[in-house]
Chain A
Amino acid sequence: DAKTTQPTSMDCAEGRAANLPCNHSTISGNEYVYWYRQIHSQGPQYIIHGLKNNETNEMASLIITEDRKSSTLILPHATLRDTAVYYCIVRGLTSNTGKLIFGQGTTLQVKP
């Protein structure tokens, strides 16, 4: 079972920041938070991951709370192409814990 809880859907205006929350209150100390997104008719795409520090790359920023029980994915300037299902996943790094277990995700609709 997925170890995360996300809102089912969110809307965002084009050009504004999209902030997608995720709760992972049972995360273990050696587990990472990963974010993937799935655009219609495509396979999931890796966005970003982090352990406890905030992370930023060319796609997004990841803010992890100090107690690591929740995180927020930030798309700084959402475009229509960012409309997708976003999955927050907790993942370890061993053969057993390293599997990606997907939940329902958050459907982000970016509107003009």
Chain B
Amino acid sequence: EAGVAQSPRYKIIEKRQSVAFWCNPISGHATLYWYQQILGQGPKLLIQFQNNGVVDDSQLPKDRFSAERLKGVDSTLKIQPAKLEDSAVYLCASSLPPGAFNGYTFGSGTRLTVV
């Protein structure tokens, strides 16, 4: 079974620039999550999708972050404009619908450095 694919693996941008991350979940996984992990901290949930609908985006800084999941498969997370404090690893995870006795499967993440 192929895992959760994320790209790019690394990204360095200047503050005020924009950046986009891509995630391809495991086939058949209806639920998709984006997490932000700042160095030394646990992952923080940003947004949860069920198919192509948003279930929870309460922790997403909507003034600069946006995410979409067209056709209920791939997803993109965008930051515009980036700030220094956005430097982090952005993790994508997917799972079967809630209620299933399955854990999430995480991708390897995109490491963003804002300078």
Give the size range of B's interface with the partner: 20 to 34
Q: A37 to B86: give the CA distance in the assembly, Å.
A: 24
Q: What total count of A-B pairs have CB within 8 Å?
A: 57
Cβ of A45 < 8 Å from any Cβ of B?
Answer: yes
**What residues of chain B lie closer than 8 Å to A93, measured between beta carbons?**
98-99
What is the minimal beta-carbon distance from A24 to any residue of chain B, in angstroms? Answer: 15
Contact across chains for B91 and A43 when beta carbons are under 8 A apart: yes
Name B50's closest neighbour in chain A (CB-CB): A95
Q: A87 to B35: give the CA distance in the assembly, Å.
A: 15
Contact across chains for A101 and B45 when beta carbons are under 8 A apart: yes
**What residues of chain A lie closer than 8 Å to B105, measured between beta carbons?**
46
The B interface, classified by DSSP as helix, strand, loop or mixed, is strand
Contact across chains for B93 and A43 when beta carbons are under 8 A apart: yes
Give the size range of A's interface with the partner: 20 to 34
Q: A19 to B93: give the CA distance in the assembly, Å.
A: 27
Residue from B4, B43, B44 with most neighbouring chain A CB atoms (10 Å): B43
**What residues of chain A lie closer than 8 Å to B33, measured between beta carbons?**
99-100
Contact across chains for A98 and B103 when beta carbons are under 8 A apart: no
Q: A45 to B103: give the CA distance in the assembly, Å.
A: 9
- B residues bordering A, Cβ < 8 Å? 4, 33, 35, 41-45, 48, 50, 55-56, 91, 93, 98-99, 101, 103-109
